[in-house]
Chain A
């Protein structure tokens, strides 16, 4: 919250608000709204959701295959519909396995190819799906150490894995690249007796706990008290989603979530008539956030790694959508404080706001 206050220039805004209120409650009132949140994300420990009545486990699966050439294919049950899994999951493998991101292919969403998985929702893909991938990569490294140790005539315990190479600790010249080890794993000509050929691993990762992203969002609005219409002036968000794998994708997820949440607060409304007919059934009546109604978002973050998953990530998909509706509504209610307004139901359509201003 300290950082959010600083970003938004809170003291100046308070002065501006006071001056507008001072002028006999002029027609353009300024409102500042806050929302500080802690989410439970990264769904979820299977035993917990089972105790709550869920009919499925909430683990995620990952099959990581290192090919004889050293390139990698990841089969994940967490499918992407725009969240950038191909990029983020490639990065997880690239960072952990010391290969180029371009050498990693991510396969998802095709049930002919991918093992059972639980999907993308609940800010879980990185925290649960990503952790499953990390688990498989770790298994591959462990197996690779045994193969490399055999080839290098060393003990597996003495091997280190760094930057895509298996090295004998203390003897930097005794090393084998991942590609060499992968090739030998598939040739299996000179190979440990107690090891299966091949270099792939499957992991079903069941998280030990939910993850708990947190943050503070601040929204500044101007309310036209004559008509009840609302204009967004500023929006600042400081989120802690744990370690960040790809900052651009994390920001993009926040932007999209903010639009969803602001839309919910201001416009989106499924309306049924008395006979149960949906009367907001097309975009002629159902208002989505449009580009000219939104503003640039001001983002910052702190980083507190999640303590119980291998990546230290918490998930970011929902942060924007969860934090923004209260921030927006609080801003509007704050603007209307001089009129005695303490609550308005979402969505805050101009007519509802106008009626709230003019309520006795």
Chain B
């Protein structure tokens, strides 16, 4: 069987027929070509697949595309506005908050959700807020700096 879904992805309406077992991350990557959300651990732990669903950060490897019917999804591809990087993207660039870049889309979307909830987080709050995103390259030091940089610019 297939399920009909209608949703908004990065502000654009999307309509599709999906297999029930189609995970949201596969739908985004393979059906829509939005490969920013990465598949890392497959056990809901690494956070590389994090996207926003109706404004909330979620792990798209642990959500069926069918469950996203009727929602508004934001991926890393939808964060820049009119060619202008989002302050978080700019912060990761300026503060060297990434090395290989695999975790970065998920990290930025989690940080975006964190800053929505708490516009001026302490270092400790940043570390607590991003605990669902694993980075193997940076030791997280510059990721914290990047989020602080963005928080200052967004306030």
Chains A, B in direct contact (C-beta < 8 Å): yes
Which of A125-133, A178-186, A252-260 is found at the contact surface with chain B?
A252-260
A189 neighbours in B (Cβ, 8 Å):
none
Binds A, one of B15-23, B70-78, B137-145: B137-145
Distance, CA A258 to CA B136, complexed state (A): 11
Whether the Cβ atoms of A252 and B138 lie closer than 8 Å is: yes
The residue from A84, A289, A291, A296 contacting B99, defined by CB atoms under 8 A apart: A84
A83 beta carbon closer than 8 Å to chain B: yes
Taking a contact as CB atoms under 8 Å apart, the answer to whether A82 and B139 are in contact is no
**A296→B141 CA distance, assembly (Å):** 6
The 0/1 profile, CB within 8 Å of B marked 1, for residues 243-272 of chain A is 000001101101111111000000000000
In the complex the two chains form, is A294's CB within 8 Å of B96's CB? no
Nearest 7 pairs of A and B residues by beta carbon: A82-B100, A82-B99, A255-B139, A259-B139, A255-B141, A283-B45, A291-B140
B137 and A82 within 8 A (CB): yes
Contact with A along B114-155 (1 / 0, CB 8 A): 000000000100111011011111111111100000000000
Are A256 and B134 in contact, with the CB atoms below 8 A? Answer: no
Q: List the A side residues contacting B41 at CB < 8 Å.
A: 282-283
Q: How far is the CA of A79 from the CA of B144 in the complex (A)?
A: 27
Minimal Cβ-Cβ distance residue in B for A285: B43
- Chain A residues positioned under 8 Å from B140 (CB to CB): 255, 259, 289, 291, 294
Residues of A within 8 A of B128 (CB): 292
A291 touches B96 (CB 8 A): no
Contact A292 B99 (CB under 8 A): no
Give the interface of B toward A (CB within 8 A).
41-43, 45-46, 96, 98-101, 123, 126-128, 130-131, 133-144
Whether the pair A258, B45 counts as a contact (CB closer than 8 A) is no
Q: Mark A282-306, 1 if CB is under 8 A from B, else 0.
A: 1110001111101011000000000
Q: Is A284 a contact of B139 with CB atoms below 8 Å?
A: no
Cα–Cα, bound, A84→B137 (Å): 12
Q: Which residues of B contact A259 (CB under 8 A)?
A: 136, 138-140
Q: Is the CB of B46 within 8 A of A256?
A: no
Kindly state whether residue A81 has any CB partner on chain B within 8 Å. Answer: yes
Cβ distance B41 to chain A, nearest Cβ, rounded Å: 4
B45 touches A249 (CB 8 A): no
A124 to B43, CA, bound (A): 35
Between B99, B101, B131, the greatest number of chain A beta carbons within 10 A of the residue's beta carbon is seen for: B99
Q: How distant is A201 from chain B, measured CB to nearest CB, in Å? A: 30
- CB of A32 to closest CB in B, whole Å: 21
Given A258-B139, A292-B128: A252 in contact with B134 (beta carbons within 8 A): no
Of all chain A residues, the one with the shortest Cβ separation from B101 is A82
Closest B residue, CB atoms, query A255: B139
In the bound complex, how far is the Cα of B97 from the Cα of A249, in angstroms? 10
Tell me the bound Cα distance from A281 to B46 in angstroms: 14
Q: A82-B137, A252-B99 are in contact. Are A291 and B43 (CB under 8 A)?
A: no
In the assembled complex, which residues on chain B have CB atoms less than 8 Å from the CB atom of A81?
100
Q: Across the interface, which residues of A come within 8 angstroms of B46, CB to CB? A: 283
